[in-house]
Structure 1
Amino acid sequence: MIDRINHAVVEFFEKLSSWEHDVVREKGITLPQMHTLEVLGIHGPMRMKELAERMGVTTGTLTVLVDRLEAKEYARRRAHDTDRRSIIVEMAAKGRELFEEHDRLHLGLTEELLAACPKEDREALLRCLTAMNERF
């Protein structure tokens, strides 16, 4: 059983990744850049260090991502209100629009995929996904 679940998870990940790459490529943005906007869109403005930790990247990698998002006017940096050593990253209006559009696409895909699941299994699916996400 574990082998079948493993293969199903890997197959799902590959299909979702392919879908995600196709969607962001059309917008002229990279997948890591879109993930940065997703984290900011879901959690709001945050310190560079906190954002890097949440994304599982180094602050050096994040610096490059934020540089590129700023160049495209999707995000901006600002000084922290009380900590002079900290920089806050936040979405710009253009980034908010892109995030909201991308989030709607995710919602549509989720609705489409859930249509294949019996309604009585959806709560169990949510519990499983929540438990698995907590393990990361």
Structure 2
Amino acid sequence: MSDISNLTNQIVEFYEKLSSWELSVVREQGMTLPQMHTLEILGTHEPLRMKELAQRMGVTTGTLTIQIDKLERLEMVRRRPHEEDRRSILVELTPKGKALAEEHHTLHEQLTRDITAQLGSEERRALEEAFRRMNCEF
């Protein structure tokens, strides 16, 4: 098997394991993956215009509107008018949404600690750099 095939298999296996972990954690928190993804993005970049949030999520604004409606009913986010652009609506986390986003981020950090425990600091830095460079390709 070629080096690229081996690497492909490792990436696919990692993705499948990470996805399975993510789904189980999100379910335990009573959320769906798209809902948690929304909270994660807002936790890092809030507040965002609806259009900006939709772009970051890779969905249409119509799809996002349905998602935000659900998250508003759960009291995780709120909409407010943009102060400088009356046509725009900003979305931000509520204290409840912020707490859940922070809790989920903490779980991500613990997973990272767990799965990199066998790596030395140089290997962790190399892995981080590899991920940074690969992420730029998307």
The C-alpha deviation readout for 1:90-114, integer Å capped at 9, x for no partner, is: 0001000101110110000000011
CA RMSD in angstroms comes to 0.8
Structure 2 CA distance, aligned partners of 1:123 and 1:91?
32
For structure 1, the residue ranges without an aligned partner over 5 or more in a row are none
The one-letter amino acid of 2:49's match is R
1:130 aligns with 2:132: yes
Task: Name the structure 2 match of 1:14.
Answer: 16
Task: Name the structure 2 match of 1:39.
Answer: 41
The offset of 1:123, in angstroms, is 1.2
Pairing of 1:44-55 with structure 2 (within 5 A): 44-55=46-57
Task: Name the structure 1 match of 2:119.
Answer: 117
Structure 1 CA distance, aligned partners of 2:134 and 2:58?
17
SS in 1 for 2:119: coil
Task: Name the structure 2 match of 1:89.
Answer: 91
The one-letter amino acid of 1:42's match is T
TM (norm. structure 1) is 0.97
Which of 66, 69, 90 is the aligned partner of 2:68? Answer: 66
The offset of 1:131, in angstroms, is 0.7
For structure 2, the residue ranges without an aligned partner over 5 or more in a row are none
The C-alpha deviation readout for 1:54-87, integer Å capped at 9, x for no partner, is: 1111111111111110000000110000111100
Q: Show structure 1 runs of 4+ deviating over 3 A.
A: none
Count of aligned pairs between the two proteins = 136
The offset of 1:124, in angstroms, is 1.0
Task: Name the structure 1 match of 2:102.
Answer: 100
